[in-house]
Each structure stands twice: as structure tokens, then as C-alpha cells.
């Protein structure tokens, strides 16, 4: 009897505690959309003079002239998207390859040191990447990579123009080094999380290691890997410091990857501190809003893609 009373009291304490804990966590979770909403409101409010003046034309305009008070953000968005796409083009194969090696093939003694190094790569401040870019990567691109590309693929419009060393390609390269740790770290974890039974089943059917990885592990981990790639893309879209140090900072849309370009985040960082006229400041905030929208659109596309991939054939569910 007595035991029962104590038990009931304890369970009611537990129920209250659970409820408090639930409320606490719910309010934390609610904080994230709230912050997003507040950011959007603040951006729109601060950008209002520019929104009223330029409207949607701001997104398709390609002149950026603070003296004349004429602003268009298209070359910057182009630079942001192309440099990020380049970064993914390089870092996705590299990152997934590394992740497969670490999760499926690497001996135990090698796995932790390599993972530690990869995580270290993610911890380097971006301005350090920028300095490395200026002093090591840019000269290498100018004296080695550019002549090699022009010698072999120079007939393509992608590789024309003088060998400056700085430009879209260099920005893409430096971004790829910066985002690869995200892809490696997340993909490795996702692949390690694939149940042993999946691999054992594949091996029992006579699959080689390659076939096991390709047909059992990767499909199972696919949505996680796609998530890793979009995490990397988000990082690449917003990266500022390292990019502005090597991209050349010229707002233009050129077919050549060797030509200098500019990104949205770089122009904001570069010009905000010295922007004095109200319209100029508003235009920079509007550019920030445009970047925000681009990021949202890219993320929505990512969701759709993940949804498609997750529903696609070949996924084995437990």
C-alpha cells in the first residue's frame, strides 16, 4: 500500500518534470524560426529605401555604381553561385571518396588520425585560408595551373584571358578545400551508421567490397550524404573572407573561369564599413537580403532533391 503511494507521487513528479522539460525544449526549438523571422524583418526594414527605389530590377541589374547611386546585384549572385558550384564539383568526389575510405576500407589505426586532421581542417579560420590563398594558391594557379589548362583546354571559352592567378577558379579551389571537411565528417558518420546486417547481407550474396559499398552502404546512407553536400554548399555560399582575398572583386559576368569575379557576401564585407549615403547602405542590405533568398531557394531545392532521392529505388529499409 505504502509503496503504491510513493510510486504514484514519484510518477506525478516525473510527469511535471517531463512537461517542464518539454516546454523548455519546445521554446528552444521555437527560437530558431523566430530568429529567422526577425532577421528577415530587420533586413527588409533596413533595405527599404533600396527596395522602393530599385524593386525587383535590383536582382537583374548588373551595374554597381555607388557614385551614381545605381545598384544591381546580378554579377554578385552569379559569382556566389558559380564559385560555390565549382567548389562542390571538386569537393564532392573528394569528400565522398575520403568518407568511403574512412568508413569501409581504412584500418582502425589510420581512421582516427585522418578524421582528426579532417576535423582540424574545418577549424581553421577562413582568413588563414585567405592568406594561404594569396601566398601559395594564387601563385601556383598563375604559374602552373593556368598555363596547363590553357595548353590543354584553351580552346574552351572557360579557360581564356590573361593568367592573373586570382579569379573564379581560385575562389572555387579555396572553397572546395574549406568545405571538404563537412562532407567527409558527415558522410563518414552516416556510413558508419549503416547497420552491419546490410553489409553482411551483401557479402553473403557474394558481393565484392566495391559492390557492397555501392549497392548496400551508399544507398542506405544516401540522404545523409546529400545532406552533407548541402551543408557544404551552405557554407560555400556564405563564405566571405577567404573568397574576397582571391576572387579579384570585379562585378562582371564572364564565361572564363580565369577571369576575376565577385560574390554577394564579399561586396557587403568590403563596402559596408565605408558606406555613408543612406541609399548605399540600403543597397548593401538589399544585397544581403538577396543572398538570404538565394540561400533559401537553394535549400528548398535541396529538400526537394533529398525527398526525391529518399523515395527513389534501391533504398533498403530495415
Among 175, 179, 186, 236, binds another protein (CB under 8 A): 186
Residues 248-267, one symbol each (x = binds another protein by CB under 8 A, - = not), give xxx---------x-x---x-
Provide, rounded to whole angstroms, the least separation between the CB of residue 40 and another protein: 22
The per-residue b/e assignment along 180-196, b for 16 or more CB within 10 angstroms, e otherwise, is bbbbbbbbbbbbeebee
Among 158, 231, 298, 316, binds another protein (CB under 8 A): 231
What minimum distance in Å lies between the beta carbon of 91 and another protein? 16
- Looking at the Cβ atoms of 59 and 305, the one nearer to another protein is 305
Is the Cβ of residue 207 or residue 250 nearer to another protein in the bound state? 250
Is 79 a binding residue for another protein by CB under 8 A? The answer is: no
**Closest among 220, 274, 294 to 66, alpha carbons compared:** 274
- Please choose, from the candidates 256, 290, 235, the residue with its C-alpha nearest in 3D space to the C-alpha of residue 64: 290
Q: Which residues contact 253 (CB under 8 A, 6 or more apart)?
A: 62, 74, 75, 78, 261
Within 8 A by CB and 6+ apart from 270, the residues are 244, 249
Question: Which cell numbers hold the place of 172?
Answer: 572555387
Among 201, 207, 298, 306, binds another protein (CB under 8 A): 306
Q: Which of residues 264-293 bind another protein (CB under 8 A)?
A: 266, 269-277
* 139 near another protein, judged by CB under 8 A: yes
Residues contacting 188, CB < 8 A, separation 6+: 98, 99, 102, 103, 115
Interacting stretch for another protein, rule CB under 8 A, among 22-30, 99-107, 211-219, 241-249? Answer: 241-249
Does the footprint of another protein cover residue 208 (CB under 8 A)?
no
**231, 182 in Cβ contact below 8 A?**
yes
- Between 6 and 32, CB nearer to another protein: 32
Residue 190 in contact with another protein, rule: CB under 8 A: yes
- Find how far residue 76's CA is from the centre of its chain: 17
Q: Is the dihedral of CA 294, 297, 303, 308 positive or negative?
A: negative
If one asks whether residue 44 binds another protein (CB under 8 A), the answer comes out as: no
Number of residues that bind another protein (CB under 8 A): 49
User: Closer to another protein at the Cβ: 219 or 227?
Assistant: 227
Secondary-structure percent of the chain, ordered helix, strand, coil, rounded to 5: 80, 0, 20
Member of 34, 42, 193, 297 binding another protein (CB under 8 A): 193
In the three-class reduction of DSSP (H, G, I as helix; E, B as strand; rest coil), residue 257 is classed as: coil
| Residue ranges that bind another protein, judged by CB under 8 A | 63-68, 112, 115-116, 119, 134-135, 138-139, 142, 162, 164-166, 185-186, 189-190, 193, 221, 223-224, 226-228, 231, 244-245, 248-250, 260, 262, 266, 269-277, 306
Amino acid at each position: 500500500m505504502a509503496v503504491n503511494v510513493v510510486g504514484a507521487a514519484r510518477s506525478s513528479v516525473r510527469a511535471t518534470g517531463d512537461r517542464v522539460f518539454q516546454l523548455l525544449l519546445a521554446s528552444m526549438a521555437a527560437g530558431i524560426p523566430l530568429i529567422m523571422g526577425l532577421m528577415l524583418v530587420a533586413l527588409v526594414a533596413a533595405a527599404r529605401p533600396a527596395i522602393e527605389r530599385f524593386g525587383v530590377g535590383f536582382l537583374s541589374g548588373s551595374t554597381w555604381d555607388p557614385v551614381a547611386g545605381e545598384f544591381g546585384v546580378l554579377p554578385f549572385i552569379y559569382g556566389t553561385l558559380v564559385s560555390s558550384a565549382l567548389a562542390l564539383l571538386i569537393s564532392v568526389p573528394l569528400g565522398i571518396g575520403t568518407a568511403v575510405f574512412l568508413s569501409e576500407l581504412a584500418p582502425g589505426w589510420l581512421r582516427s588520425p585522418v578524421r582528426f586532421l579532417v576535423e582540424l581542417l574545418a577549424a581553421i579560420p577562413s582568413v588563414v585560408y585567405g592568406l594561404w590563398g594569396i601566398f601559395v594558391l594564387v601563385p601556383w594557379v598563375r604559374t602552373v595551373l593556368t598555363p596547363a589548362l590553357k595548353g590543354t583546354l584553351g580552346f574552351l571559352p572557360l579557360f581564356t584571358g590573361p593568367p592573373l592567378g586570382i579569379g573564379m577558379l581560385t575562389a572555387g579551389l579555396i572553397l572546395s578545400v574549406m568545405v571538404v571537411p563537412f562532407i567527409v565528417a558527415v558522410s563518414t558518420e552516416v556510413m558508419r551508421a549503416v547497420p552491419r546486417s546490410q553489409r553482411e547481407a551483401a557479402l553473403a550474396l557474394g558481393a565484392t567490397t566495391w559492390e557492397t559499398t555501392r549497392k548496400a552502404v551508399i544507398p542506405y546512407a544516401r540522404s545523409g550524404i546529400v545532406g552533407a553536400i548541402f551543408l557544404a554548399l551552405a557554407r560555400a555560399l556564405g563564405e566571405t573572407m577567404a573568397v574576397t582575398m582571391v576572387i579579384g572583386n570585379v562585378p562582371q559576368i564572364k564565361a572564363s573561369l580565369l577571369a576575376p569575379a565577385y560574390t554577394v557576401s564579399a561586396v557587403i564585407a568590403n563596402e559596408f564599413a565605408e558606406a555613408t549615403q543612406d541609399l548605399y547602405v540600403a543597397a548593401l542590405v538589399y544585397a544581403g537580403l538577396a543572398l538570404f533568398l538565394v540561400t533559401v531557394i537553394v535549400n528548398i531545392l535541396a529538400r526537394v532533391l533529398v525527398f526525391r532521392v529518399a523515395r527513389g529505388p534501391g533504398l533498403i529499409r530495415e
